[in-house]
């Protein structure tokens, strides 16, 4: 056999499982995560009444999830490389499922907000790693179709959130807004280890990480998300808290941007 034929044979992509089965599993996880950004919106008055809190305080159920999500989302790739993509993805799915169940069991607003932070932090890694898994699952010629279907699922989820949330709240109870994640989460936790190939972590990379930069980015994105989410409620910069978080976000993100520019300009000298 000629060398050209050998090269062609090596380039043939032979999946171990049907790639669309893997796509359905990872897209379902992403759908759950994005759905939870909006599913609780219409149920805030019921949560406030059930947990004996004001509607203003109950808004933290939404804000806490979005802030935690915004903090973890940009560093999820860094975490998946260092701890292994499959391990990190599985940990995120399990934590998301457990925290969803705990949200439904919460007996006070403080507990619910805490569990929503856990849920948002776990969900922050699901979308980027899902796309990475899709890239490794499909051959290059099918990337367009696979990511188009995935994009449709992700775009559809937030628009369906209020509809699904309102239906569940009216027919069952607001706690089921979180319980609905449990069965799909368990199914994904079982299927992902069977379908997705394992990759080894590289913990040695933890020693060379720019932890001050990570903290600054997390602080900047978290306070920026809070500013944008709560700004309209408190009349933007007429509120001292919104003004403070806006300044913190601006300074932190500018510092991160400056560090990136310096690194690109001077390379290893800055590093």
* Per-residue pLDDT tens digits for 69-93: 877 877 777 777 777 777 888 888 8
Task: Give yes or no for a contact between 108 and 161, defined as CB atoms under 8 angstroms apart.
Answer: no
HSE toward the beta carbon, residue 54, CA cutoff 13 A: 2
- pLDDT greater at residue 16 or residue 135: 135
In angstroms, the CA 86 to CA 193 distance is 8
Q: Nearest CA to 131 among 73, 191, 82, 189?
A: 73
Residue ranges in the chain assigned as alpha helix (H): 3-11, 19-35, 44-50, 55-58, 60-72, 76-83, 85-105, 109-123, 126-137, 143-171, 176-179, 182-195, 211-230, 240-266
pLDDT digits (tens, 9 = 90+) for 148-168: 887 887 788 778 878 888 888
- pLDDT exceeds 60 at position 5: no
HSE toward the beta carbon, residue 47, CA cutoff 13 A: 31
* pTM (two decimals): 0.76
- Reading the block at residue 191, the tokens are 């299927």
In angstroms, the CA 92 to CA 79 distance is 11
What pLDDT score was predicted for residue 256? 74
Other Cβ atoms less than 10 A from the Cβ of 77: the count is 16
- Give percent of the chain above pLDDT 70: 83
In angstroms, the CA 260 to CA 222 distance is 19
What pLDDT score was predicted for residue 209? 61
Task: Give yes or no for a contact between 97 and 179, defined as CB atoms under 8 angstroms apart.
Answer: no
Question: Among 4-8, 101-105, 108-112, 174-178, which is the least confidently predicted range?
Answer: 4-8
- Reading the block at residue 189, the tokens are 């936790």
Residues 216, 218, 219, 222, CA torsion sign: positive
In angstroms, the CA 153 to CA 138 distance is 17
- Reading the block at residue 158, the tokens are 């937030």
In angstroms, the CA 206 to CA 175 distance is 39
Name, in order, each residue with C-beta under 8 angstroms of 237's C-beta and a sequence gap of 6 or more.
Answer: 243, 246
What pLDDT score was predicted for residue 22? 78
* CA 99 remoteness from chain centre: 13
| 193-221 mean pLDDT | 68
Task: Give yes or no for a contact between 159 and 37, defined as CB atoms under 8 angstroms apart.
Answer: no
């Amino acid at each position: 056999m000629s060398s050209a034929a050998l090269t062609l044979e090596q380039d043939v992509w032979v999946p171990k499982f049907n790639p669309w089965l893997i796509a359905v599993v990872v897209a379902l996880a992403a759908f759950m995560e994005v759905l939870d950004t909006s599913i609780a919106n219409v149920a805030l008055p019921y949560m406030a009444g059930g947990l004996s809190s004001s509607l203003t305080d109950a808004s933290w159920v939404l804000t806490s999830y979005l802030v935690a999500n915004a903090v973890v989302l940009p560093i999820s790739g860094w975490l998946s490389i260092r701890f292994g993509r499959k391990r990190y993805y599985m940990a995120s799915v399990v934590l998301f499922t457990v925290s969803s169940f705990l949200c439904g069991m919460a007996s006070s607003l403080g507990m619910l907000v805490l569990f929503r932070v856990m849920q948002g932090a776990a969900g922050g890694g699901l979308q980027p790693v899902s796309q990475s898994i899709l890239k490794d699952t499909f051959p290059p010629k099918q990337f367009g179709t696979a990511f188009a279907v995935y994009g449709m699922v992700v775009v559809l989820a937030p628009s369906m959130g209020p509809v699904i949330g309102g239906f569940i709240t009216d027919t069952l109870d607001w706690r089921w807004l979180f319980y609905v994640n449990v069965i799909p989460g368990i199914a994904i936790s079982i299927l992902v280890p069977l379908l997705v190939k394992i990759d080894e972590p590289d913990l040695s990379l933890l020693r060379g990480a720019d932890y001050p930069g990570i903290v600054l980015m997390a602080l900047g994105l978290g306070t920026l998300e809070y500013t944008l989410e709560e700004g309209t409620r408190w009349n933007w910069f007429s509120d001292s808290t919104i003004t403070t978080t806006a300044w913190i976000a601006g300074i932190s993100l500018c510092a991160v941007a400056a560090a990136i520019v310096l690194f690109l300009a001077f390379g290893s000298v800055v590093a």
